């Protein structure tokens, strides 16, 4: 393999001579260390700055935001900064891109590296000019003295390494003086993306590459009994690659690979063992519990439960959902005997490199995973699976292979967002106050440390590890209010029907649905206004502010009962609140809905959201993430449910797994609260959390019917309305 930053830097600088005097050996640990300045930053002989980020931009605008952060600390222009993302051969391991850590963790490390570099550059210039650092200033990629002498970054250190650890106490710029951070700079990738010039991983081609399609079994875990090779004889140059139960077809022309996939006659064993999605919540109730965990407790609520209080209880249900990425997963791999390269839209290139190397028997140092943009992913979709399948196939046939999943692969086989079942209990005292609260959340346990087992590895009989993983699913199962007698318990389940992974705001969407809907149930039982009832128990001023700003924008009129539940078109409004992970971004969410009584069809007409994530690096990118969070979660709440029978997933296209479409898109009214001096929190997930509850609360306001199971399909709503009347 021949890759190095030297080549890259020379490419940037347009040089052919090796300038990099102190350049370390290719792929050397110092160049990739997550604690060294050189891990994150390089300055080329021409003074241009390149940033190396382990975390990637998934269409989130991080590509703009990261440049702004570095530009701010180095006092250079953001658009002059080169950026390399998620390339295991070039970027440090900053962990996966997920859990809203891109800015809070990823960018924070890079900011410190830039600040350390700035101090080092000033020291070097001070020595060069023989003047003290305070008499120097930076403008453009150059350092100036008061006497107007200047030296460029390139001349100071271009092509060389800093050789410095990232200094955790490096002097960073005071946010009050920010000139670049906080501005809505445009995303640099959009002009190419919107004119068809951007190369997505789906568009990546390498010389000598063949196209592959993987054949999925008719039931999960089926054994491959027999293949009829003659069945694809009519497809030119198509061939079969088989490793135990892993079977694929490859062909030089992509369409021929598709034809071969369709024509291939394979006999499989029958392993239909699932209970089916119709029985999902029964299945959950009967699944053994691996362990109980008390998420948070104030005073033990149990003794109060029989104390002459008004006791309420309810169960809330969140279905299995798919990432349902718009483009099916895709990857290209070129693996030879001693190593190779995989091009992938994985959110986890560093972790997957370790896993793939182990499974393929390669030295991880000789395997490189290169991130390329793919279709939006919201956690681990099928990208890692497709990448491993490409690597496996490339190793088998000794040529570069492109694996492109079909629509049914993505919907049917992506690792799913797990189902959630929450039992809620609460009690109201004589004053209408909440006397006690109990949450018991049943969630699949996280028993795998390396992410979801890889499909291709399972089929090929490789040891991909047992176990499940779906992210930090327990958070926000406790109410975000001051409740003296409160306990939230997680029953971590031993098993779950389908393979899972982290899906946007893992667990939090379903947890907040249960908590904030049930809080509304208590408010209704206490004949209290839902907003006032929340504020009564909320002391955090930033939490109060998002709720108040939401209510203000909705022109909230306190009421406890909607006037009329009998009209043909029912209208209502609801409110919900989330403090993401109980420690990060604050979100107030208000919804206005219409429900057609005859059909049960819900239309969200308007959404108001007040959002406080602390400092905003790029407010327009924040706004886009909040919009996406709201719309995607309205979609999940109204329409989305993975269905499966005894054999496997039956919702395998956009007809059987519908999502939100343009006619159902509501007006969005988003209030971004600007807190320039507070630390920045993530924005890709928080606003998803209160969406379902706000929607359900609005439906209750309109109809008097409480929806406790998502999705709120028309059929389900109609049935609930009929039962209620």
Distance in Å, CB of 670 to another protein, minimum: 10
Q: Output the six-digit token pair for 30.
A: 């110092």
Largest Cα–Cα separation, the chain: 86
Dihedral sign for Cα atoms in the order 381, 386, 389, 395: negative
Binding part of the chain for another protein, among 175-183, 519-527, 536-544, 625-633 by CB under 8 A, reads: 625-633
User: Considering beta carbons, is residue 510 or 628 the nearer one to ligand FES?
Assistant: 628
Q: Is 245 helix (H, G, I), strand (E, B) or coil?
A: coil
Q: Is 11 in the site for another protein (CB under 8 A)?
A: no
Q: Binding partner of residue 242 among another protein, ligand FES, none, CB under 5 to 8 Å per kind?
A: none
User: Considering beta carbons, is residue 190 or 615 the nearer one to ligand FES?
Assistant: 190
Q: Is 658 in the site for ligand FES (CB under 6 A)?
A: no
Q: Is 630 in the site for another protein (CB under 8 A)?
A: yes
User: Considering beta carbons, is residue 41 or 622 the nearer one to another protein?
Assistant: 622
User: Edge-to-edge, what's the strand order for the sheet holding 420-428?
Assistant: 289-297, 486-493, 434-444, 420-428, 310-318
Size of the residue set binding another protein (CB under 8 A): 59
Q: Is 207 in the site for another protein (CB under 8 A)?
A: no
User: Considering beta carbons, is residue 187 or 708 the nearer one to another protein?
Assistant: 187
Q: Is 266 helix (H, G, I), strand (E, B) or coil?
A: strand
- Cβ burial of 593 (10 Å; 0-12, 13-18, 19+) is buried
Query: CB within 8 A of 31, min separation 6: which ones?
Result: 5, 24, 38, 39, 161
> Which of 60, 321, 346, 470: binder of another protein (CB under 8 A)?
60
Q: Is 58 in the site for another protein (CB under 8 A)?
A: yes
Q: Binding partner of residue 233 among ligand FES, another protein, none, CB under 5 to 8 Å per kind?
A: none
Q: Is 59 in the site for ligand FES (CB under 6 A)?
A: yes
Q: Output the six-digit token pair for 470.
A: 């779906």
User: Considering beta carbons, is residue 59 or 158 the nearer one to ligand FES?
Assistant: 59
For residues 380 and 374, what is the distance between their CA atoms, to the nearest angstrom? Answer: 12
Q: Is 415 in the site for another protein (CB under 8 A)?
A: no
Binding part of the chain for another protein, among 387-395, 445-453, 568-576, 659-667 by CB under 8 A, reads: 659-667
Q: How far is CA 705 from the centre of its chain?
A: 32
Binders in 366-385 for ligand FES, by CB under 6 A: 376
Distance in Å, CB of 327 to ligand FES, minimum: 8
Distance in Å, CB of 412 to ligand FES, minimum: 16
Q: From the CA atom positions of the chain, what is the Rg in Å?
A: 28
> Which of 376, 484, 619, 704: binder of another protein (CB under 8 A)?
376
Distance between first and last Cα of the chain: 71
> Which of 18, 77, 199, 326: binder of ligand FES (CB under 6 A)?
326
- Cβ burial of 3 (10 Å; 0-12, 13-18, 19+) is middle
> Which of 668, 671, 672, 673: binder of another protein (CB under 8 A)?
668
- Cβ atoms of 394 and 486 within 8 Å: the answer is no
> Which of 79, 654, 715, 725: binder of another protein (CB under 8 A)?
654
Residue 176's CB is within 10 A of a number of other CB atoms, namely: 7
> Which of 225, 326, 495, 715: binder of another protein (CB under 8 A)?
326
- Cβ atoms of 465 and 416 within 8 Å: the answer is no
> Which of 144, 183, 253, 262: binder of another protein (CB under 8 A)?
253
For residues 328 and 654, what is the distance between their CA atoms, to the nearest angstrom? Answer: 12
Q: Is 199 in the site for another protein (CB under 8 A)?
A: yes
For tokens 């609005």, what's the residue? 698
Distance in Å, CB of 591 to ligand FES, minimum: 23
Q: Is 328 in the site for ligand FES (CB under 6 A)?
A: no
Q: Binding partner of residue 230 among another protein, ligand FES, none, CB under 5 to 8 Å per kind?
A: none
The one-character DSSP state at 336 is E
Q: In which region does residue 531 sit, left (phi positive, over 0), alpha (psi from -120 to 50) or beta (all else)? A: alpha
User: Considering beta carbons, is residue 378 or 577 the nearer one to another protein?
Assistant: 378
Binders in 179-198 for ligand FES, by CB under 6 A: none
Q: Is 347 helix (H, G, I), strand (E, B) or coil?
A: coil
> Which of 399, 488, 624, 693: binder of another protein (CB under 8 A)?
624
Distance in Å, CB of 407 to ligand FES, minimum: 8
For tokens 């930090």, what's the residue? 472
The residues with which 50 forms a beta bridge, in sequence order, are: 42, 82
Q: Is 324 in the site for another protein (CB under 8 A)?
A: yes
Q: Output the six-digit token pair for 52.
A: 């190396």
Q: Binding partner of residue 336 among ligand FES, another protein, none, CB under 5 to 8 Å per kind?
A: none
The one-character DSSP state at 376 is -
Q: Is 190 in the site for another protein (CB under 8 A)?
A: yes
Compute the C-alpha angle 699/700/701, nearest 5°.
90
- Cβ atoms of 721 and 565 within 8 Å: the answer is no
DSSP labels for 665-714? PPEEEEEE---TTSPP---SSGGGTTHHHHHHHHHHHHHS----BS---H
Distance in Å, CB of 661 to another protein, minimum: 5
Q: Is 495 in the site for another protein (CB under 8 A)?
A: no
Q: Is 220 helix (H, G, I), strand (E, B) or coil?
A: coil
Binding mask 599-618 for ligand FES (x = CB under 6 A): --------------------
Binding mask 541-560 for ligand FES (x = CB under 6 A): --------------------
- Cβ burial of 477 (10 Å; 0-12, 13-18, 19+) is buried
User: Considering beta carbons, is residue 63 or 597 the nearer one to ligand FES?
Assistant: 63
Q: Binding partner of residue 487 among ligand FES, another protein, none, CB under 5 to 8 Å per kind?
A: none
Size of the residue set binding ligand FES (CB under 6 A): 3
The one-character DSSP state at 201 is G
Binding part of the chain for another protein, among 2-10, 67-75, 335-343, 623-631 by CB under 8 A, reads: 623-631
- Cβ atoms of 399 and 207 within 8 Å: the answer is no
Distance in Å, CB of 203 to ligand FES, minimum: 14
Distance in Å, CB of 329 to another protein, minimum: 11
Binding mask 470-499 for ligand FES (x = CB under 6 A): ------------------------------
Q: How many CA atoms lie within 13 A of 285 on its CB side?
A: 9
Residue 134's CB is within 10 A of a number of other CB atoms, namely: 9
Dihedral sign for Cα atoms in the order 259, 223, 465, 360: negative
Binding site residues, another protein, CB under 8 A = 58-60, 186-187, 189-200, 202-203, 205, 236, 253-256, 258-259, 324-328, 373-376, 378, 404, 406-407, 620, 624, 627-632, 635, 653-655, 659-663, 665, 668
Binding site residues, ligand FES, CB under 6 A = 59, 326, 376
């Amino acid at each position: 393999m021949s890759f190095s930053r030297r080549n890259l830097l020379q490419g940037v600088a347009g040089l052919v001579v090796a300038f990099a005097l102190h350049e370390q050996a290719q792929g050397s640990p110092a160049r990739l260390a997550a604690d060294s300045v050189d891990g994150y930053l390089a300055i080329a002989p021409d003074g241009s700055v390149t940033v190396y980020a382990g975390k990637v931009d998934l269409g989130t605008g991080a590509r703009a935001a990261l440049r702004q952060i570095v530009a701010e600390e180095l006092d250079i222009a953001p658009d002059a900064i080169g950026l390399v993302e998620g390339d295991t051969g070039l970027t440090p391991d900053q962990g996966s891109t997920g859990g809203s850590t891109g800015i809070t963790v990823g960018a924070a490390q890079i900011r410190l590296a830039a600040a350390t570099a700035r101090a080092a550059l000033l020291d070097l210039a001070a020595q060069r000019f023989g003047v003290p650092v305070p008499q120097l200033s930076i403008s453009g990629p150059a350092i100036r003295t008061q006497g107007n002498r200047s030296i460029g970054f390139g001349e100071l250190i271009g092509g060389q390494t800093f050789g410095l650890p990232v200094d955790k106490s490096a002097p960073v710029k005071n946010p009050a003086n920010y000139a670049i951070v906080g501005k809505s700079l445009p995303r640099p990738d959009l002009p190419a993306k919107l004119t068809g010039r951007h190369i997505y991983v789906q568009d990546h081609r390498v010389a000598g590459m063949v196209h592959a399609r993987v054949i999925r079994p008719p039931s999960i875990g089926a054994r491959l009994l027999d293949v009829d090779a003659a069945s694809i004889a009519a497809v030119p140059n198509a061939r079969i690659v088989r490793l135990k139960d892993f079977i694929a077809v490859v062909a030089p022309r992509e369409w021929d690979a598709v034809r071969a996939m369709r024509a291939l006659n394979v006999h499989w064993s029958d392993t239909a063992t699932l209970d089916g999605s119709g029985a999902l919540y029964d299945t959950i109730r009967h699944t053994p519990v691996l362990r109980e965990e008390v998420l948070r407790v104030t005073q033990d609520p149990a003794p109060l439960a029989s104390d002459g209080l008004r006791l309420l209880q309810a169960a809330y249900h969140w279905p299995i959902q798919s990432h349902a990425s718009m483009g099916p997963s895709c990857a290209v791999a070129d693996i030879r005997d001693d190593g190779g390269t995989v091009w992938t839209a994985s959110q986890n290139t560093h972790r997957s490199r370790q896993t793939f190397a182990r499974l393929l028997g390669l030295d991880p140092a000789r395997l490189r995973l290169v991130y390329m943009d793919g279709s939006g992913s919201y956690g681990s979709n099928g990208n890692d699976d497709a990448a491993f399948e490409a690597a496996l196939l490339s190793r088998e046939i000794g040529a570069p292979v492109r694996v492109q999943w079909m629509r049914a692969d993505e919907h049917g086989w992506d690792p799913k967002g797990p189902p959630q079942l929450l039992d809620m209990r609460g009690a109201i005292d004589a004053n209408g106050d909440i006397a006690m609260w109990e949450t018991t959340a049943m969630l699949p346990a996280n028993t795998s440390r390396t992410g979801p087992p890889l499909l291709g590895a399972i089929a090929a009989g490789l040891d991909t590890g047992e176990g499940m993983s779906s992210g930090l699913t327990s958070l926000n199962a406790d109410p975000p209010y001051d409740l003296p007698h409160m306990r939230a318990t997680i029953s971590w389940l031993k098993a779950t029907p389908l393979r899972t992974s982290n899906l946007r705001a893992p667990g939090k969407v379903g947890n907040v649905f249960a908590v904030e809907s049930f809080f509304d149930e208590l408010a209704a039982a206490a004949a209290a206004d839902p907003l006032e009832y929340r504020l009564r128990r909320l002391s955090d001023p930033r939490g109060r502010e998002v709720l108040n700003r939401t209510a203000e924008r909705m022109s909230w009129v306190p009421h406890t009962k909607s006037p009329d539940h009998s009209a043909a078109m029912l209208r209502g409004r609801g409110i919900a609140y989330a403090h993401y992970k109980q420690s990060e971004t604050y979100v107030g969410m208000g919804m206005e809905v219409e429900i057609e009584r005859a059909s049960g069809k819900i239309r969200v007409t308007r959404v108001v959201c007040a959002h406080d994530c602390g400092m905003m690096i790029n407010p327009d990118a924040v706004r886009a993430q909040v919009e996406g969070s709201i719309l995607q979660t309205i979609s999940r709440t109204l329409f989305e449910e993975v269905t499966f029978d005894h054999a496997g997933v039956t919702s395998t296209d956009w007809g059987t797994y519908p999502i939100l479409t343009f006619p159902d898109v509501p007006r969005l009214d988003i209030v971004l609260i600007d807190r320039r001096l507070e630390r920045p929190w993530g924005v890709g997930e928080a606003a998803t959390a209160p969406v379902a509850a706000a929607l359900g609360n609005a439906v209750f306001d309109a109809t008097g019917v409480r929806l406790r199971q998502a999705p709120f399909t028309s059929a389900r709503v109609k049935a609930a309305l009929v039962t209620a009347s």
